[in-house]
Structure 1
Amino acid sequence: MSNKKKQTAAEYISVVIGTALMAFACQCIYDPIGLVIGGFTGLSIIIKSVSSVFIEGGIPLWITNLMLNAPVFIIGYLRLGKKFIGRTLFGTVMLSVWLYIIPSVDLTQGDYTLAAIFGGVLEGAGMGLVLRAKATTGGTDMVATLIQSYVRHCSIVRIMQILDGSIVLIGMYVFGLRPALYAIVAVFCMAKVSDAIMEGFKYSKAAYIITDRHDEVAKAILEDLDRGVTGLKARGMYTQKEKCVLYCVVSQKEIVALKELVVEIDPKAFVIVSDVREVLGEGFLEYAEE
């Protein structure tokens, strides 16, 4: 099997796992206590509650989820193309299947704090896995993706927060203020977890090193740490002297060794260390083949 086929298979498996987590959070955490955190699943919970007056048990979540997604798919096909819709159709069907399979069980026993945190983490993890596989589960995920295709400076997750917030407000009128306040906590947890999964957990450290012995420090980094280093031309505004600022990216476990190495060569060196969310390239994460 080629690398491209392996990657595609892994992405579809990611969608299966991600939708399972999302459906589990909805069926076993949110729905039993009326916690609406947004999305078409949130709207489905609202519709189920309202329709229970006319239909015993209300309209099942999986049916509402499919019905709400139909018009969005038509627009998405016209705007984003067949390939994107194919993956999203798979994600939407899988979410509906999981919603049908997984029974509704109140795992939190009415504990809103546990539901908001645990549910938000599960929902965010599932959503992150799906979005990382270049798909969505339809609903506000897809609506946000469509909006983001027009408004490039906004991230999909941020747009989803706005859409989900609107649905939370609707849920407030159906289930009351208390669940809505906890839903905000759940949305926050969900956004943080999904952002982390999409951007990657492979954190690294970037170091700016200002030293008069830049040649020696650079050589030590190249030879002892086996890491690349770049010299940036700079000028001290107080002394007006030209300087060479070294820039280096290392793994978290290597940053201690880097600082010790610099101090050993030049105790007076000025070192600035910052977090790096994700690094692609040789020695770090390899670029994925399209």
Structure 2
Amino acid sequence: MAFITKEKFLSNEWISAYSYLILGSIIFAVSDILFVVPYKLAPGGVYGIATVLNTLFSWKISYCTFAMEIPLVILGTIILGPRFGIKTIVSIFIILSTVWLMETYVSPDYAKVIADPMLNTIVAGVFYGISIGFIFKSRATSGGSDIIAMILAKYTKLSLGKLVMIVDGIIVLFTLVQPTETGTIGWEFAIYSLIIIYIEGKIIDMVVSGANYHKTVMIVSDQFELISSKIKDDLKRGATIFTGKGVYSGDEKKMVYSVMSRRELEILKLYIREVDPFAFVNVTEANEILGEGFKSLNED
């Protein structure tokens, strides 16, 4: 399991991991109480279910979550084995404690700190993403729906990523049973919750992998030598040349593969347009780049 780590106690890695874990857990709890619960949103997870139960029955978020989270951890451990690690348990405890403290001692006047629902949704998504990104960087999980998805993954052929989306999607649908001010079905709750999930996912990627501005480019061109020289000599980037065969023509083709910044890519595209306007150029997002010239493998 990728999230089980063995940092040496009080080492720099241990301090860094637990700093991310504690900060992320507290931000998650505060964000949930300030930006999610007041608007009756449920962007997945057990806290999403707890929000719906809080709206319908005025039950405390912390109590509802405790009643779901602890049994899930126990059940997950029985079915999957000890895969979560101590840090996941610590994260669950910190989030639960912070939520309970805010519910118990903070005045309910905190409700709807941000008056505009859409602005609130954006802020919630950003803070949710930062908090969960920090928890992931500590090599822990936030438990909850992740555990449900892991259990389902053991007995189905679906990937863990798809199962997390399905579980969170079902939780979002629970918002439809919440009463609205006009007495209609609460579609706006579900829509805002989905927006939070989308923004959260983007922010998590930025926090875990960094704000990446690099692109992967693959170029098929008869002028591959000129293009690779441009990359090496002018852009000061590395490149790899592959040999392939065109399916339709049957001719041997050369492909130049490289990774570079957006600015460097624009310079290269202008050059390719000059030397071979008929070149085939494929550009994709480079979500994470490890190795010489980029992020060291030792930092991951």
Quickly name the TM-score band, shorter chain normalised. Answer: 0.7 to 0.9
* 1:95 match: 95
The equivalent position to 1:215 in structure 2, one of 225, 245, 252, is: 225
Give, in whole Å, the separation in 2 of the partners of 1:237 and 1:179.
50
Q: Which residue of 1 aligns with 2:4?
A: none
**Amino acid aligned to 1:42:** G
Which shows bigger deviation, 77-86 or 269-278? 77-86
Q: Distance in 2 between matches of 1:161 and 1:236?
A: 38
Question: Contact 2:245/2:251 (CA < 8 Å) preserved in 1?
Answer: yes
C-alpha separation in 1, matches of 2:217 and 2:174: 47
Secondary structure in 2 aligned to 1:231? strand
- Is 2:38 the counterpart of 1:47? no
Q: Secondary structure at the match of 2:281?
A: strand
TM-score, normalised to structure 1, is 0.80
Q: Deviations over 1:147-206 (max 9, x none)?
A: 4466686244x4333222222333321334143343233333333433454454324212
The residue that corresponds to 1:28 in the other structure is 34
Partner residue in 2 for 1:114: 119
The alpha-carbon distance between structure 1 residues 13 and 146, as it changes in their structure 2 partners (threshold 3 A), is farther
How far off its partner does 1:253 sit? Answer: 3.1
User: Which deviates more from structure 2 when the two are superposed, residues 78-87 or residues 170-179?
Assistant: 78-87
Which residue, 1, 7, 12 being the options, matches 2:18?
Answer: 12
Alignment partners' CA distance in 1, 2:116 and 2:227: 56
Amino acid at match of 2:126: V
Quote the residue 1:84 is aligned against.
Answer: 84
Are residues 1:189 and 2:194 paired? Answer: no
Is the 2:31–2:127 contact (alpha carbons within 8 Å) kept by the matching residues of 1?
Answer: yes
1:163 equivalent in alignment to 2:167:
yes
- Residue 95 (structure 1) shift: 0.9
- Partners of 2:231 and 2:244 lie apart in 1 by 20
Contact 2:230/2:268, CA 8 A, preserved across alignment: no
CA distance in 2, matches of 1:82, 1:238: 53
- 2:84 match: secondary structure: helix
Q: Which position in structure 2 is the counterpart of 1:55? A: none
Match of 1:253 among 263, 280, 300: 263
Paired residue total: 281
**Closer, same or farther in 2 for the Cα pair 1:82/1:240, shift >3 Å?**
closer
Cα separation, 2, equivalents of 1:8 and 1:145: 26
SS of match in other structure, 2:290:
coil
Q: 1:231 to 1:85 in 2, by over 3 A?
A: same
Structure 2 runs not aligned, ≥5 long: 1-6, 181-185
Name 2:216's counterpart in structure 1.
206
Q: CA deviation at 1:86?
A: 0.9
Quickly say closer, same or farther: Cα 1:51–1:235, change in 2 above 3 A. closer
137-146 vs 266-275, which moves further = 266-275
Is the 1:84–1:134 contact (alpha carbons within 8 Å) kept by the matching residues of 2? Answer: no
Output the CA distance in 2 between the equivalents of 1:219 and 1:109.
54
The aligned residue for residue 176 of structure 2 is 172
Between the aligned partners of 2:79 and 2:139, the Cα distance in structure 1 is: 15
Q: Measured at CA, do residues 151 and 286 of structure 1 come closer, stay the same or move farther in structure 2, by a change above 3 Å?
A: farther
Q: Match for 1:241: what amino acid?
A: D
Deviates more, 1:114-123 or 1:75-84: 75-84
Distance across 2 between alignment mates of 1:75 and 1:221: 54
Identical aligned pairs, as a percentage? 25
Normalising by structure 2, we get a TM-score of: 0.78
Residues 221 and 276 of structure 2 are in contact (CA less than 8 Å); yes or no, is this contact kept in structure 1?
no
* Partner of residue 144 from structure 1, selected from 149, 173, 176: 149
The 2-side partners of 1:117 and 1:196 are apart by 16
